[in-house]
Structure formats: structure tokens, C-alpha cells
Amino acid sequence: MATAVMFDRYGGIDELKVVEVPTPKAGPGQVLVEVVAAGINPGEALIRSGMLHDRWPTTFPSGEGSDFAGRIAAVGDGVGGVRVGDEVLGYTEGRTSHATHVLVPADQVTPKPAGLDWDVAGALYVVGTTAFAAVRAVGAEEGDTVAVSGAAGGVGSITVQLLRARGAEVIGIAGEANHEWLRSVGVIPVAYGDNLIDALRAAAPGGLDAFIDTFGGDYVDIAMELGVPVERIDTIINFDAVQKYGVKGEGNAEAATIDVLAELADQAAAGAIQVPIAAVYPLDRVQDAYRELERHHTRGKIVLHP
């Protein structure tokens, strides 16, 4: 038997249960991975609550989780290039990675670079591909000035580093507790709050060329008030603003490929990007992990260890 996080209906954190389930069997073209680390993401909390039912409906009972890193436990017929025992990272589209074992098509795993930390590997897919897509969506180039909301969060912390790698000047909106870290990666920190618009104008006297919203709320409105061109505003979460204003809404779905994940893994292993790990929880404390996540004050990623 395997162990997995499941929920039987939409609701709060208390709906999450850790239960025994049959260990999946690797069929043709599939690999079974014994999970070492699996990241958690805000989108999973929104799916569990039912807030994203119209966009991503759930059937019950439901598992959860997209990110994982682990070791190949079994290989199905027709699979080449991987063997039992290989260390990999990858993703599942079946919301099943918060478990001791995850079954995926073989083309949804990639070798884990030897120097890559397990927790980083297991938390990289959703935030990394989302950040990659957002940076690409706003066309960030050398010399641009780009503001990022939620700049120290899971997606934001990678977004600001990818922007810096392109030569952009980056203004990161975050709580003061995260300002020192933002400075350490070459980002100008600005605190959120009532005086945010004035603070952004002071930080970017020449104006903003682009804006990436990783948090939601009224950040798209702020970007437009500051004169950022609509086509250079991207939000990964405010879908109403996408419909209302015509800003971009590109995120994980626009860069969800194993090639992008492999590229990000190589960059992380080489130290070109940092993936801060805010906390690690055993699988049986998944409820505590989501309580911390839903406080919205973590720097980087929260990871589960099955």
C-alpha cells in the first residue's frame, strides 16, 4: 500500500486526510516514482476550497499536488532512458504528487542534477514554470524596469531572479522581513501598504516598463494607474482583471513542459537561481503545511516529505 493526501469534498484545510491507497502499477509508457519531496502551492488550496471549480473542476475523492522529486520505483513497458533507482524530478497532471508514490507518463520526468537539493527539486515545477512564463509574457529585456508583487513568495522569488538574469532592473513588492533577501539577489525592495503607489514612483522615477502580479488583489489596477502598457502586465492569479482589462494571464500552463523544468533544474543546481525553502513538513502534517501557506507570508516554498 501507498500513502496519499486525499479530500472528499470542497472545503477548508480540515478536509485533507492522509490515507492508505493501493500502490499504483506502471503501465505502458509510465514510470512509478517513490516520492522524496513534493512542493505545495496556493493553487492547490484554491482548488480544494472550490474557488476554481469553474476553471479546474474536481471529481471526488481527489488527491492533490503537481510537483515532486524522487526515485524511479518501477518502469512500464516501452519506456527507455530511465531505470529503477534513477533520481528524477517531474510533474503530474493528475493531482497526485502529495503521496509516497506517484504514477506519471515517462515524458513527465527528467533526471535530477547531482548538485540539486531534493527539496528544491521537489518544489520547482509549478513555481518555476509559472515564473518562466510570466517573465516571457511581459517581454522583459535588458534595461527594463519591472515591478513584481509577492516578490518573495514561491513564484515571485524565482520571477525576480529570472528578470535579473535578463538584465532588468527589478522592484520587488514584499513585506519588510523579506527586503534583505531581495537585496541579496539584486532586487530593489518596496513594502506593500497604503503608500505603495508613491513608493513605486520613488523607486522607479523613470516609470515602469512592465509589471508581474503573482499575488492578486488590486495590483493590476495599480500597474495601470502607474501607466504600464496593458500588453506588458501579466497576472498569474487575477483572472477577473484579465477579462476586464485585457492584461495577460500567462502562467504555469504556458510553460508546463519537461524541457523548461529541466532548464530550470540545471540553473538551480548551478546556483544561477535560488529557490528558498520556507519549511518542510512530513506528509502526515499536511494540514499544518497548508495553514502556514495560507498565511501568505512565507519566503519561497513549503515542501512535504512522504
53-74, pLDDT tens digit by residue? Answer: 988 899 999 999 999 999 999 9
Asked if the model's pLDDT at residue 3 lies above 80, the reply is: yes
Q: And the C-alpha cell for 166? A: 535578463
| pLDDT tier, 279 (very low <50, low <70, confident <90, very high otherwise) | very high
Asked if the model's pLDDT at residue 299 lies above 90, the reply is: no
Q: Is 12 helix (H, G, I), strand (E, B) or coil?
A: coil
How far apart CA 213 and CA 234 sit, in angstroms, is 6
Percent share of the chain, pLDDT over 90: 94
Model pLDDT for residues 5-60, shown as the tens digit of each residue: 999 999 999 999 999 999 999 999 999 999 999 999 998 999 999 998 988 899 99
How far apart CA 183 and CA 174 sit, in angstroms, is 12
Q: What is the mean pLDDT of the chain?
A: 96
CB 129 within 8 A of CB 154: no
Global pTM reads: 0.94
Asked if the model's pLDDT at residue 297 lies above 80, the reply is: no
Compare 42 and 103 and report the one with higher pLDDT. Answer: 103
Domains and CATH numbers, the chain: 2-124+275-305 (3.90.180.10), 127-253 (3.40.50.720)
Model pLDDT for residues 85-95, shown as the tens digit of each residue: 999 999 999 99
Q: Strand pairing of 210-213 and 233-235?
A: parallel
